[in-house]
A and B are shown apart, each in its own frame.
Chain A
Amino acid sequence: MPPSNERQAESGAAGPEKTYFTALAEGRFSIQRCLQCERAVFYPRSVCPHCGGVRLAWFEPSGRGTVYATTVVHRKAEQGGNYNVCLVDLDEGVRVMSRVDGLPPSDVRIGMRVRASVEAAVDAPRLVFSREEAAR
């Protein structure tokens, strides 16, 4: 059972969203697993979208995944140039939006094996990926 609002406030606990981004800010990529159906859950929630279970536990996934869909967003060079936006299927069975760094955006291919890292961005930490071969 989740603690009452009062106790949550006292203990400094936080909901799944804040918990996720707090970990990310500390360089840790963690996602949830449902203790009822044992499937991985992303994005972080208070209820399992697969089975309706309410007991979810955090764990650190392998960070390995496969590009499921990809696009190159076209921007003028003076606005930062073209960049990649993609969807990556993690080996644990969840999908995340992200981008693949370290190669031209048009070289990102569906089916490409990628590995996650946490980028310490100025505004907010971000989960990004690099090509698996390049990461070795």
Chain B
Amino acid sequence: MKLHDLRGRTAIAGVGQAGLGKAEGYTEQEILTQAAMAAIEDAGLTLRDIDGIATCSSLSTMWAMPVIEYLGIRPTFVESTMIGGSSYVAHLLPAMHALASGQCSAVLVCYGSTQRTAAFNRAELTKARRHLDPQPYETPYDPPLPVAAYALAASRHMHQYGTTREQLAEVAVAARRWAQLNPEATMRDPLTVEDVLAARMLCEPLTVRDCCMVSDGAGAFVLVRAERARDLRRPPVYVLGNATAVWNRQVSSMHDLTVTAAAESGRRAYDMAGVAAADVDLAMLYDAFTINTILFLEDLGFCAKGEGGAFVDGGAIAQGGRLAVNTNGGGLSCVHPGMYGVFLVVEAVRQLRGECGVRQVDGAEVALVHGNGGTLSSQSTAILGTQAAL
């Protein structure tokens, strides 16, 4: 079997979210379960139908086990690859193989985090990570990670291509404009380029408004074989392609700070799906920081290398612009509970099903979902499509 043979053989049948923003009083497992049950209900399935699971966690290295135990399921497919925020996009291809081979029939992909409200929060995790996951050649310089790594990448992009702070800010403003159209988004107050530039500086050139939020949140989706999806409650959203690329872990080990492994994951995902950037109606690009969106627009072929800043100028990725990008408001304005990958998929599915109301992208048939993990370390690209895109 060739990879291309998996194109469109699997579909996302249901999606769910829970606890976006603050989930005070709830555990990660609890909001994850709320999102999972919402996704299963959305698909018109029951928990008893779930015989495959994909999940991972920033805290628990054996996270699939407590999730399986809590849900009381007996999956024949367990996937828990942890490569940071891109993980829930990267879980697609292994799940597609497992569904195609008959190893399982319904895969639940799920994630939840209470990093905002839990006692062991993001700051505690950052301290613990120095011991659990040492980086002895970077830590002595006290780079506040991940933001320092993205700031270094932004500095290089600005130097090499003349990208401006205003162009970075355009990314945050476009995300906020989409968020204002999404009742589930966490940050919906008006935001201007001037606001972004004048916000508290963290790591030059990135202010706090160039950075994703620290929030709680859970998301989930259910994958089944395409023929089964056609008999379920919702219009199927087919997975046309998925590819993952990892070139390095540390930003100091990147060969070129202006080129990410998205250039490879994108090419392989496009090849599998048989589509090109020009065919994409909606791009969900993991915007942990404003520079990410610019890098991924370039690496995924929406514009040439170095032209990402000009591409986003003048509200071009906001509603009514040249390309609909991050229509839920993104990690910058919708939700970012430590790892954001699953939420990219949820929004793409809702758009392709035409459920997004005032933020709906008219006639959306092909969506590109791109997950990023670590400090520009892991990249996973997926192409999703409607029946018409098959």
Contact = CB atoms under 8 A, between A and B. Distances in A.
A94 B203 CA distance: 24
Contacts of A21: 136
B137 A74 contact: no
B152 A85 contact: yes
Nearest to B151: A71
A95 B152 CA distance: 13
B257 A68 contact: yes
Given A74-B203, A74-B204, A95-B252, A69 B141 contact: no
A97 B143 contact: yes
Interface stretch (B74-82, B153-161, B212-220): B153-161
Contacts of A69: 152-153, 155-156, 159, 257
Contact of A126 (B141, B155, B202, B250): B141
Contacts of B144: 73
Contacts of B205: 71
Nearest to B152: A69
B152 A96 contact: no
B142 interface: yes
Interface string B241-256: 0000000001111000
Contacts of A124: 140
Interface in A36-74: 42-43, 68-74
B195 interface: no
A23 B140 CA distance: 16
Given A97-B141, A110-B156, A110-B159, A71 B136 contact: no
A97 B137 contact: yes
Interface string A92-136: 000111110000001000110000000001001010000000000
A106 B205 CA distance: 11
A17 interface: yes
A25 interface: no
B141 A43 contact: no
Given A68-B156, A72-B203, A110-B155, A99 B257 contact: no
B138 interface: yes
Contacts of B200: 74
A24 B10 CA distance: 54
Interface in B188-202: 200-202
Given A69-B257, A96-B137, A98-B141, A87 B152 contact: yes
B118 interface: no
Contacts of B140: 121, 124, 126
Interface string A1-34: 0000000000000000100010000000000000
B148 interface: yes
A36 B257 CA distance: 27
A87 B151 CA distance: 11
Q: Which of B141, B152, B200, B250 has the most CB of A within 10 A?
A: B141
Contacts of B250: 97
A72 B141 contact: no
Contact of B141 (A68, A99, A110, A111): A99
Interface of A: 17, 21, 42-43, 68-74, 83, 85-87, 95-99, 106, 110-111, 121, 124, 126
11 contacts: A73-B143, A73-B144, A73-B148, A73-B202, A74-B202, A86-B152, A87-B251, A96-B252, A97-B137, A97-B252, A106-B204
